[in-house]
Amino acid sequence: MNTERAAHAESGTGPAYWRSLEELGDTPEFRTWLANEFPAGASELMNQATRRQSLKLISASFVLAGLGVTGCRRPVAYILPFSEQPEGYVHGVPRYYATAMPTRTGAIPLIVKSNEGRPTKVEGNPLHPDSNGATDRFAQASVLALYDPARAQIFKRGRNPATRPATMDFLDRLSRDLEAIAGRGLCFLLERGTSPSRARLQELIAQRLPEARWFLYEPLDFDIHRQAATLAFGKPVKPYYRLDQAKRILSLDCDFLGAEEDLHRHIRDFARGRKIRSPDKEQGEDLLNRLYVVESLMTLTGANADHRLRLPPSGVLAVTAALAAMFPHSGGSDWTEALRDSAGPWFAKPTWPSIWAIRTLPRP
């Protein structure tokens, strides 16, 4: 905001306006700044010596860039032709391969898109009856492992880099020493898996090192579902959950939409059950299922729940027993009423006997 000050002008008529306190004081610094009229350093370009020096520096930078000293050159890459042209291969056209990603107890059918011999996209196999094009976040992220800049790219011994010949020599000596004692004292600690490549390597190692021992470890018991189904039906069976046909789904501290086995199929089946109307029925049958979740921490399954009850892990067993007591011919419990008071209207719903799927968190 300009401030008006009544003062005489050089012409002697009208008021004079001053723009700053420096102008009002008429200091030498203000007169110098007003004469330059440009920011600091801009007037030096008018000086021939300074301009010549600037051109020298610019020319030197171009020379150094041409010699590659600055390190800004694009890395040289050579395109080599195929020694044997793959059958039906066309440059620039992606190719698709049917494969599977092994899990602890099964595998996920996949279709992998490949550009110029490099996988770039992973999707579920829509032709597989157990997948129907479904996948999970682990399968989607698996392709990123090939392009992870932090992946292991060199050999190391301790913390020091090692050359490939030195590493191969060390492994060769270690293999001969282990074969001399038949692998006695050698142990392998693995997680559960169904990879045929790993099974083949394990068989080859067992042939050369028969005294080696193999151990499997999992933080959770993923076999508890099969054990429970075997006790329920009286014969060895494995549960196969059809969430697309369930009208009421109860999850007891189990994240079957985020971290369970067969995650790709559970997500697809659960999404199918969320349809409001069926296009196959003339009257439009209501297919929207209801998901009830009892858990201690927020999970992806709990985020999708219609009704979520937060309880400590020690209270999940009590909820299970209280719900079982509500079914016909299941008996009663002395603490069912107290649990009903803490759980609110959960145990007052008349639709509980129609629950189709009940799952519990595997115990360690």
Query: Residue 208 contacts by C-beta under 8 Å, 6 or more apart in sequence?
Result: 179, 183
Residue pLDDT, tens place only, 116-154: 888 989 998 888 887 778 888 888 888 888 888 888 888
pLDDT of residue 200: 92
Residue pair 243/273 in contact (Cβ under 8 Å)? The answer is: yes
Residue pair 153/145 in contact (Cβ under 8 Å)? The answer is: no
The residues of the chain scoring below 70 in pLDDT are: 1-13, 22, 24-25, 34-52, 62-73, 277-287, 327-364
pLDDT of residue 342: 46
Q: Which fold has domain 95-147?
A: N-terminal domain of TfIIb (2.20.25)
The partner residues of 295 in beta bridges, in order of sequence, read 310
pLDDT of residue 355: 38
Whose tokens are 């001053």? That residue is: 18
Q: Which of 31, 60, 32, 36 is nearest to 46 (CA)?
A: 36
Q: Which of 217, 197, 193 is nearest to 205 (CA)?
A: 197
Whose tokens are 């050999």? That residue is: 155
Helices 316-326 and 336-343, packing angle to 10 deg: 110
Domain boundaries, the chain: 3-37, 95-147, 163-216, 224-360
Q: Output the six-digit token pair for 346.
A: 């959960």
Query: Residue 164 contacts by C-beta under 8 Å, 6 or more apart in sequence?
Result: 155
The backbone torsions φ and ψ at residue 26, rounded to the nearest 5 degrees and listed phi first, read 55, 55
Q: How far apart (Å, rounded) are the C-alpha atoms in residues 192 and 195?
A: 9
∠ CA 67-68-73, nearest 5°, is 135
| Distance, CA of 267 to chain centre | 16
pLDDT of residue 104: 81
Residue pair 144/157 in contact (Cβ under 8 Å)? The answer is: no
Residue pLDDT, tens place only, 334-351: 444 544 544 544 544 433
